[in-house]
Chains A and B, each alone.
Chain A
Amino acid sequence: MKLHEYQAKALFREYGIPTPKGVLVDALDKLEQAARSLGGDEWIVKAQVHASERSQVGGVRWAHGMDELRKAGEALLGQRLHTGYGGPGGQRVDRLLLEAPVQLEQEIYFVMQVDRSLERVVCRVSQSGGSTGAERAGGEIEIVQVEADAVLGFMPFHYRQLSLELDLSRQARRRLAELMQNAYRLFRDKDLVMLRINPLALTGAGELVALDAKLTVDDNALDRQPDLRALHDAEQVDAIERAAEEHGLHYVRLDGDIGCMVNGAGLAMATMDLLKLHGGEPANFLDVGGHVYGPEQVAKALRLILSDGQVKAVLVNIFGGIVRCDLIAQGMIEAAGGQGLRVPVVVRMQGTEAYAGLQALAASDLGFITTHKLEDAARLAVEAARAGVAA
């Protein structure tokens, strides 16, 4: 789960990580007052959306004076930013974070994250922070990494190593040590999988200030982090994805026109791959779960897929194991609900009770296209979608 910048910065302050002075604004008429409370005549207006590169799409604006401030506010608040996240419709900007500028000497890139192959929390820094820095340049810019010990965490020698790499003054070295201790404490306390500060400002006085803040919380830990769960902004998520989440389904919306319903994440990805191989484009990823569930879950999943207007055909791929194909078929017939299907639905079943499932679907006269073979199913779905487009 992602947090907004303003939420992350509140946690930073709680954990002693310096941030710029800022005010959160949720209405245009509150903008001027917020600016006055910050003072000065120059401000940074930052759209609060869950995206890692919002500055590339105009989500961060500098304003000199009240006129520019108003214009920046109007251009962002209530508008949708096409960040590549939150589905094809983009993400709505419901809040702005207004901040006072920080005089800085250098922009540092700072990230703490779980490294799955080292099986440790690592801290990576680079002298080249900011939107043109380490993050975008990929491998070209030197990034230095230290790894936390599972028992001891980050140690003073780690701070010393990074300070030398960053060529920091004595004052800044102390600040880096504090930052790493505080960030790691936050990381562990709140079950984060990623904490990124880019840029981290180094001021002339040797202070370090987090100009940006990106935190991702481990979805698997939300049960024991109720305060963080409460911070979840569902508005940032695509509407169909949100509905899926409520039903406990993992759904990812994509650009294509063939809806997919599959049991198991790996098989769901493989089904999308196979559609592509046959010249089709998947409209979504949807895992109905590899474990035990009833026909209601299946009915919900199928209705959800059909609720996407882009969908011209559906491919259902079920490998019955613990899950019985005949029960899945029952759920699908329920979803069609007597009124028939809006688009062709191709069903491939294999494994436990697959024969019974396919037979029930064929006998329902609701227009399901059935097969045992994976390859045939993909081909049939692509053909059906093409026919749908042509019609």
Chain B
Amino acid sequence: MSILVGRKTRVICQGLTGRQGRYHAERMLRYGTQLVAGVTPGKGGSEVLGLPIYDLVQDAVDETDADASIIFVPPASAVDAIMEAAKAGIGLVVCITEGIPVQDMLRLKAALSFYNTRLIGPNSPGIITPGECKMGIMPGQIHQPGIIGIVSRSGTLTYEAVQQTSKVGLGQSTVVGIGGDPVHGLGFIDCLEMFEADRKTKGIILVGEIGGSEEEEAAAYIQRHVRKPVVAYVAGISAPRNRRMGHAGAIVSRAQGSARSKYAALEEAGVMVVFNPALMGAKMLEYFRG
């Protein structure tokens, strides 16, 4: 058990023939992910890394029974790639692409509401169920099968949480990077709901950052619906207002989106917050040791 992806997940890669796609596909295969095909318009019929390449997602699905797709295409074609996957009945789409215009995302999200497709990202490091399935660009070797569900808006900061939980021996059930863009697919609440229902997950680490109000909304959800212990860290308490900090979504504007407001909401919801990013794993361990 775990959430969203596991041993049986059959994955295709849209953009497998590109430099980034190929590089990461190789690593996913080595990790043991069931990567079964690639899709690149115009390259159908060829083979890369021993995998068949199709022109259309629908053809790849028909031939391989794939149920998930990971996308490495440039921002200008990413919305098209996501919609093509949705139309072909892919249940889970992970979009790594960074730099999709926000108004494209608004239209995409509205259009996706007609499909039963879950989107992770864009601008996401991906998702991994350690020892079973890696759909993303994260370093596989720092992960360890275990009991902590991690959900994060960041990339390398997620690796920090992963490494800390591996080191204290808790390991991870599933790790989801929901992406650093202001408008994106799965959110904190979706993942919290799945982690709460997942039998393997015993505790949850939420890694937030400045900008927007998703952490506040997650706090309200946790208070009402989550019984499992939650540790949270919010990056950017030292960030100035009105400056975008790397991620398109990481900006404090006026009274909204500050780390302080997020910490206050999470604390009120009974979440174990840490102000020190080096202590996410230690805090979780402290809870389990009682």
Contact = CB atoms under 8 A, between A and B. Distances in A.
B212 interface: yes
A266 B109 contact: no
Contact of A117 (B110, B217, B235): B217
Contacts of A146: none
B99 interface: yes
A116 to B, nearest CB: 4
Interface string A207-231: 0000000000011110110000000
Contacts, number: 178
B103 A221 contact: yes
A220 B100 contact: yes
A277 interface: yes
A287 B110 contact: no
A275 B236 CA distance: 12
A273 B235 contact: yes
Contacts of B237: 273, 276
B138 interface: yes
A127 interface: no
A292 B156 CA distance: 13
Given A151-B110, A285-B246, A321-B137, A274 B103 contact: no
Interface in B254-290: 254-255, 259, 275-278
Contacts of A119: 105-106, 109-110, 183
Contact of A269 (B100, B158, B209): B209
B1 interface: no
Nearest to A373: B278
Contacts of A250: 245-246
Given A273-B277, A351-B139, A374-B277, A266 B155 contact: yes
A44 to B, nearest CB: 25
A239 B147 CA distance: 48
Contacts of B243: 252, 285
A264 B155 contact: yes
Given A267-B154, A269-B209, A220 B236 contact: no
B154 to A, nearest CB: 2
Measured as residues with beta carbon below 8 angstroms from the partner, the interface class of chain B is 35 or more
Contacts of A269: 157, 209-210, 235-236, 238-239, 245-246, 250
A322 interface: yes
B160 A270 contact: yes
Contacts of A351: 139, 142, 159, 163
Contacts of A277: 275-276
A268 interface: yes
A224 B137 CA distance: 28
B154 A266 contact: yes
Nearest to A377: B278
Contacts of A342: none
Contact of A276 (B100, B111, B155, B238): B238
Interface string B52-77: 00000000000000000000000110
A269 B275 CA distance: 12
B99 A274 contact: no
A274 B250 CA distance: 18
A254 B275 CA distance: 20
Given A223-B76, A252-B245, A285 B158 contact: no
Contact of B183 (A114, A219, A223, A374): A114
Interface in A244-261: 250, 252, 254
Interface string B199-212: 00000000101111
Interface in B112-151: 125, 137-139, 141-142
B249 interface: yes
B101 interface: yes
A41 interface: no
Q: Which of A52, A150, A266, A277 is most buried by chain B, counting CB atoms within 10 A of its CB?
A: A266
B228 interface: no
A352 interface: yes
Given A264-B157, A265-B250, A320-B139, A270 B245 contact: no
A270 B244 CA distance: 15
A335 interface: no
A120 B142 contact: no
B18 interface: no
Interface in A224-243: 224
B239 A352 contact: no
B91 interface: no
Contacts of A39: none
A311 to B, nearest CB: 16
Given A274-B277, A322-B137, 19 more contacts: A139-B255, A191-B103, A252-B240, A254-B240, A265-B245, A266-B250, A267-B157, A268-B246, A269-B209, A269-B236, A269-B238, A270-B157, A274-B276, A275-B238, A285-B245, A290-B137, A320-B139, A321-B156, A352-B139
Which 10 residue pairs across A and B have the least CB separation, nearest first?
A266-B154, A265-B246, A264-B156, A150-B110, A266-B157, A321-B139, A221-B101, A270-B277, A269-B235, A116-B182
Interface of A: 52, 84-85, 114, 116-117, 119-121, 138-139, 150-151, 188, 191, 193, 218-221, 223-224, 250, 252, 254, 262-277, 282, 285, 287, 290-292, 319-322, 350-352, 373-375
23 contacts: A84-B242, A117-B213, A150-B106, A193-B102, A218-B101, A221-B103, A265-B154, A265-B245, A266-B152, A266-B154, A266-B207, A268-B245, A269-B236, A273-B237, A273-B277, A276-B238, A290-B155, A319-B156, A319-B163, A321-B139, A351-B139, A351-B142, A375-B278
